[in-house]
Amino acid sequence: MIKKLSVKHLLGIKQLSPNDIELILTTASQFKEVINRPIKKVPSLRDITIANLFFENSTRTRVSFELAERRLSADTVNFSASSSSVKKGETLIDTVNNILAMKVDMVVMRHPNPGACVFLSKHINAKIINAGDGSHEHPTQALLDAFSIQEKHGTVKGKKVVIVGDILHSRVALSNIFCLQKLGAEVMVCGPRTLMPRYISSLGVKVEFNLQKALEWCDVANVLRIQLERQDIKFFPTLREYSMQYGLDMNLMNKIGKEITIMHPGPINRGVEITSEVADSAQSIILDQVENGVAVRMAVLYLLAGRSDY
C-alpha cells in the first residue's frame, strides 16, 4: 500500500487514484476507532491551523469538518460569507490571502461556484480541501459514502449502486460516480429526464428512468435531495408528482423483493425523495454515514497535512 497521497490538495475525486482512495479509507477506519474511544482526541495536527471558509450554507459538512479538525488537535478559524467582507466587494483571492497572512496552513472551502477550489489552489500557498463547489464535486461526501458501503458490505468492488434524484445539480452524484467507479463498483443513475445531464452516459454509468427497475437492479441506493436552490426554472411540475414517481416508500421497498441498503447525504426532505419510514428503517445507514463522515475527514486532513520540511 502507498504511504502518501499523490495529490497536494483534495479538489475532487477526479484527481485521485484508486490507491489514494484506498489509503484514505484505510486511514479512516483507524480514525473511526479513535472517535469511539473514551477520549476521542489525538494530537497529530497540534501544529496546524485550519480555516473553514463557507461561502454557502452548510450544517453537516461544516460541523463534521470542525469536529474532525478538533479531534486531530488542529486550531481552527471559521468564516462564513454572510458575516464577512465578501459582502463589501472583496475578491476570493484577497479574502483568502488575508486569512493566510495570519499563518493558516490548510483551507477547507465550500463555494457556490464550480471550480472555485481549483482556481484558489493555483493562486495561494496552502493546502485546500474542497467541501463542495457548486454543482461540481463534493469529494469528502463521496469518500464517506464509499467508506459506509465498504463497512456495510465488506467491499465496494462489484457492488451495484444506484444514485437516485437530482443528478443534474448534484455535486454528490458526480463525486460518487468517480469514486465508486475508481473502486470498481457498477453505478446507475436514476431520475426524471429533466434532471439528467445530457451526456451522463459518457461517464460510463447506466441510466434508468424507472425507479422500481433501478432498485431491483441495485445493492445500494443513494437517494439525493432535490436541489431547489440551484434550480432557476421548473424541472418538474410539483414536488408531489416528483415524490410519486421518484420517492422511496415502504410500498416500493416491499415490492422489489430484496433487501437493499439505503443512503442519503442529507439534508433529507422527508416525504419528498424518501419517506420517514424508509429513512429510519433498519436498511438505512444514513446516520452511519454521518458518523463515518468525521472519520473520513480526519483521514483526509491527516494525510494532506502530511510531511512538512521545517
Residues 172-191 that bind other proteins (CB under 8 A): none
* 3-class secondary structure, 196: coil
Asked if 102 touches other proteins (CB under 8 A), the answer is no
Asked whether position 6 contacts other proteins by CB under 8 A, the answer is: no
Q: Which is nearer to other proteins, 30 or 212 (CB)?
A: 30
Give the DSSP per-residue string, 162-187.
Answer: EEES-TTT-HHHHHHHHHHHHTT-EE
The angle subtended at Cα 15 by Cα 23 and Cα 161, nearest 5°, is: 70
Task: Please return the burial class of 149, using the count of CB atoms within 10 Å of its CB with bins 0-12, 13-18 and 19+.
Answer: buried
Residue type, 142: A
Under the binding rule (CB under 8 A), the answer on residue 33 touching other proteins is: yes
292 near other proteins, rule: CB under 8 A: no
Contact between 154 and other proteins (CB under 8 A)?
no
Say which residue the cell 469511539 belongs to.
36
3 binds other proteins (CB under 8 A): yes
Alpha helix positions (H), 35-159: 60-71, 92-100, 116-121, 139-153
Q: Is 90 in the site for other proteins (CB under 8 A)?
A: no
Whether the Cβ atoms of residue 76 and residue 70 lie closer than 8 Å to each other = yes
Beta carbons of 129 and 249 less than 8 angstroms apart: no
Using the minimum distance from each CB to other proteins, give the nearer residue, 23 or 92.
Answer: 23
Q: Determine if 27 is a binding residue for other proteins (CB under 8 A).
A: yes
**Contact status: 23 vs other proteins (CB under 8 A):** yes
Of 56 and 105, which CB lies nearer to other proteins in the complex structure? 105
Distance between CA atoms of residues 247 and 242, nearest Å: 7
The minimum distance between CB 301 and other proteins, in angstroms, equals 12
Applying CB under 8 A, does 126 fall inside the site for other proteins?
A: no
Q: Single out the segment in contact with other proteins by CB under 8 A; choices: 34-42, 169-177, 191-199, 242-250.
A: 34-42
Candidate residues 8, 41, 157, 270; the one interacting with other proteins per rule CB under 8 A = 41
d(CA 167, CA 48): 36
Q: Which three cell numbers stand for residue 202?
A: 459518457
Which set of grid coordinates corresponds to residue 293? Answer: 463522515
Tell me: does residue 43 bind other proteins (CB under 8 A).
yes
Tell which one of 87, 103, 258, 307 touches other proteins (CB under 8 A): 307
118 binds other proteins (CB under 8 A): no
In this complex, which beta carbon is closest to other proteins, that of residue 41 or of residue 193?
A: 41
Tell me whether residue 50 or residue 117 sits nearer to other proteins (CB atom): 50
Q: How far, in Å, CA of 144 to CA of 291, rounded?
A: 9
**What's the closest the beta carbon of residue 125 comes to other proteins, in angstroms?**
17
Among 21-29, 209-217, 234-242, 277-285, the segment contacting other proteins (CB under 8 A):
21-29
Residue (88 or 307) nearer to other proteins, CB: 307
DSSP for residue 18? H
Phi, psi of 280 (to 5 degrees): -100, 10
Name the grid cell of 83.
458575516
133 close to 171: Cβ distance less than 8 angstroms? yes
- List of residues contacting other proteins (CB under 8 A): 1, 3-4, 23, 26-27, 29-30, 33-34, 37-44, 47, 72, 302, 305-308, 310
